[in-house]
């Protein structure tokens, strides 16, 4: 069990994290919503729908069975888009055990509740939850480009344990105890990128763009404090 890892969600980012774990010697079971994707991954070692340009490590296998996926490991990495996260977890609920540890890879907030991913998990289960996030492109992770992410957990020992599982010579992990703050930054950083894109498209001056970025960061910090994160 200690060398097995489960990932819920076979999108680009979930698949890229599976490549890291497989490279690190773990047997990864990737839960897929799409049944045809299970066959592609298990037979051809290609995620033809979401990550078609990469041959996957043979340590990565796939299933669309929650029972099989959740019995594979105590480490449950979830990479489900936030708008589908609650529904997927409710469907998986009967197979969740108290020893499972959830590591959330999702970015964003639930529309109806404004909950962050860890808060959705905490509402449904009493299991330990950690968060992995950073300025990462899935494709570059698979290409083994040097990358860093933050692993946030309010359990220091769990953070150290997960860092050992994830870190290697091209994927660096920094530890944090600010589970809320890391998720707020992850949810809002792309909004700043879009804003800067609009400004550049409108031929705004660099000074104006710098002002927008500075004000945006200030607002993110304020929201982080309101939601209980560490500024």
Catalytic residue set: 189
- Rounded to whole angstroms, how far apart are CA atoms 20 and 167? 8
CA distance to 6, 46, 171, per residue, from 143 (Å): 22, 15, 11
Which positions ≥6 away from 190 have C-beta within 8 Å?
107
- Report residue 47 CA to chain centroid gap: 17
**Could you give the dihedral angle defined by the CA atoms of residues 42, 138, 133 and 220, in that order, rounded to the nearest 10 degrees?**
-140
Query: Is there a contact between 80 and 8 (Cβ–Cβ < 8 Å)?
Result: yes
């Amino acid at each position: 069990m200690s060398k097995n890892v489960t990932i819920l969600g076979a999108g680009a980012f979930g698949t890229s994290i599976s490549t890291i774990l497989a490279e690190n010697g773990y047997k990864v079971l990737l839960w897929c919503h799409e049944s045809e994707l299970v066959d592609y991954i298990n037979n051809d070692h290609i995620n033809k729908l979401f990550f078609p340009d990469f041959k996957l490590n043979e340590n990565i296998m796939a299933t669309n069975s929650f029972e099989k996926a959740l019995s594979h490991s105590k480490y449950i990495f979830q990479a489900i888009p936030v708008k589908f996260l609650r529904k997927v977890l409710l469907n998986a609920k009967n197979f969740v055990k108290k020893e499972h540890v959830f590591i959330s890879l999702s970015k964003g907030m639930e529309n109806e509740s404004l909950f962050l991913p860890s808060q959705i998990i905490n509402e449904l289960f009493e299991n330990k939850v950690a968060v992995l996030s950073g300025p990462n492109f899935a494709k570059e992770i698979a290409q083994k480009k040097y990358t860093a992410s933050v692993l946030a957990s309010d359990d220091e020992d769990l953070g150290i344990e997960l860092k050992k599982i994830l870190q290697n010579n091209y994927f660096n992990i920094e530890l944090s105890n600010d589970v809320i703050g890391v998720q707020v930054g992850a949810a809002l950083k792309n909004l700043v990128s879009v804003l800067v894109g609009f400004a550049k498209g409108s031929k705004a001056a660099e000074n104006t763009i710098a002002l927008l970025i500075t004000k945006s960061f200030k607002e993110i910090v304020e929201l982080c404090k309101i939601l209980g994160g560490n500024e």
